[in-house]
Amino acid sequence: MPVEQGRVSEPVPATTIIGADVGGTYARLGWAILRPGEPIKINDFRRYACAEHPSLAAILHDYAAGLRANPVLPPLGGAVVAIAGLLDGDRLLNTNLAWQVSLDATRCESGIGELELINDFVAVAHAIPHVARTALHPLSAIPGHHAAGPALVLGPGTGLGVALRLENSQPPVLASEGGHAALSAGNALELDVLRMLLQRHGHVDSERILSGPGLMTLYACLCEREGVAPRWQTPAELVQAARSADDPLALASIRAFCGWLGSVTGDLALTFGARSVYLTGGITGHLAQWLHEGGFQQRFLAKGALSSALQRVPVWRIDDGELGVLGALAWHAETSRHAATTGDRH
């Protein structure tokens, strides 16, 4: 397990930076005064419902207005927004957001000229060295220690985010769209689900199942397989039904989800040569009791001749609701430090 060293970074001194973590449902924001050698302390953490605001710029403008009205804070030096998707020129490519995002328009409309958009899981991977040990919960049975990189970071949310944290590398994080790689089956139930989905979609990627919406897709497929009508419409309802034993199919869906997630995580760990794994996201918190049952780890290790290699890879579940914001701020700190050393802004 990592020894907590404090959230230490060395960015440009005495500037107020906004960190934001924007998903399909919520935008989470906080700010920090970044000074060399001091921990990153997130202040005024707030959550915005994306559907209740006309744009990302509107959210940033509202949040920044409060900072600018505070006379004791250093000047606002900019903002870093961790957001799902890929930046294609000026436009963000993402199908899960409540609105289209243009980088130039967002800078103009928010009034924040120094604004950066980074991939949400790039941000999460930047946060890994700063995570408090109390937020780490082991999913593997190996002794508690922090293995060296590469570190695989992934998590189901509105989609399935994937990134790789490297050591002694610049940049230190490799972005990935591994959540869109084709999903494979490891047992008869998963084969049946894939057959159903292949009849409806030309491509079945991992996040089709391993995400919040995907959990409900999996449940609907299991209901169809058993010839019964679905009873639950949201992940929260499904989780509650599984906890209260109201519906055996709800419990079966969640256990199938955890096992399938374990299998895909093991595949990605082998693909990237990961030496440690960090599982993040709000869904993993809601499913914690089932993730720790053992099905996840069993499928993570079920890789034939290479199972023994994965037995040496520690797997942690991170429980930190501010992780994306921390990662955005850590990215800014690390980028600023590198720029100051090399003279290269990025």
* 262-278 pLDDT, tens digit each: 999 999 999 999 999 99
Long-range contacts of 214-218 (CB under 8 A, 24+ apart): 214/156, 214/160, 214/257, 215/156, 215/253, 215/254, 215/257, 215/283, 218/193, 218/253, 218/256, 218/257, 218/260
Q: What is the pLDDT of residue 84?
A: 78
- Residue (of 256, 309, 321) closest to 283 by Cα position: 321
The reported pLDDT for the residue numbered 8 is 46
What is the per-residue pLDDT for 143?
55
**Which residue in 41, 39, 44 sits closest to 8, CA to CA?**
39
292 phi/psi in degrees, rounded to 5: -90, 0
DSSP class of 165: E
The rounded distance, in Å, linking the Cα atoms of 212 and 157 is 5
Higher pLDDT, 94 or 205: 205
3-state secondary structure of 282: helix
pLDDT at residue 14, rounded to an integer: 64
Size of the chain in residues: 346
Identify how many contiguous H helices and E strands the chain contains and give both numbers. 12, 15
Q: Does residue 17 register a pLDDT over 80?
A: yes
- Backbone dihedral angles phi then psi of residue 7, each to the nearest 5 degrees: -85, 75
What are the pLDDT digits (tens) for 189-227? Answer: 999 999 999 999 989 999 999 999 999 999 999 999 999
Asked whether residue 338 carries a pLDDT value surpassing 80, the answer given is no
Distance CA 76, CA 111 (A): 11
The pLDDT value recorded for residue 12 is 44
Could you give the CA distance from residue 152 to residue 231 in angstroms, rounded to a whole number?
Answer: 36
pLDDT of residue 343: 60
pLDDT, mean over the chain? 88
Pairing of strands 91-93, 86-88: antiparallel
Helix (H, G, I), strand (E, B) or coil at 166: coil
The string of pLDDT tens digits covering residues 114-158 is 999 998 888 999 999 888 888 999 998 675 555 567 999 999 988
Predicted confidence at residue 9, as pLDDT, reads 42
Q: Residue 177: is it exposed, middle or buried by C-beta count within 10 angstroms (0-12/13-18/19+)?
A: middle
Task: Please give the pLDDT value at position 321.
Answer: 87
pLDDT at 6: 47
Nearest to 175 by CA among 266, 82, 90, 98: 82
The pLDDT, as a whole number, for residue 68 is 87
Rg of the chain over Cα atoms, rounded to whole angstroms, equals 21
Burial 132-144 (b: 16+ CB within 10 A, else e): eeebbbebbeeee
Task: With a cut of 90, say whether residue 242 has pLDDT above it.
Answer: yes
Confidence of residue 98 (pLDDT cuts 50, 70, 90): confident
pLDDT at 291 over 90: yes
172 sits in the region (left: phi over 0; alpha: psi -120 to 50; else beta) called alpha
**Angle at 211 (CA atoms; ends 20, 52), nearest 5 degrees:** 45
Checking if the pLDDT of 37 tops 80, the result is: no
pLDDT of residue 137: 93
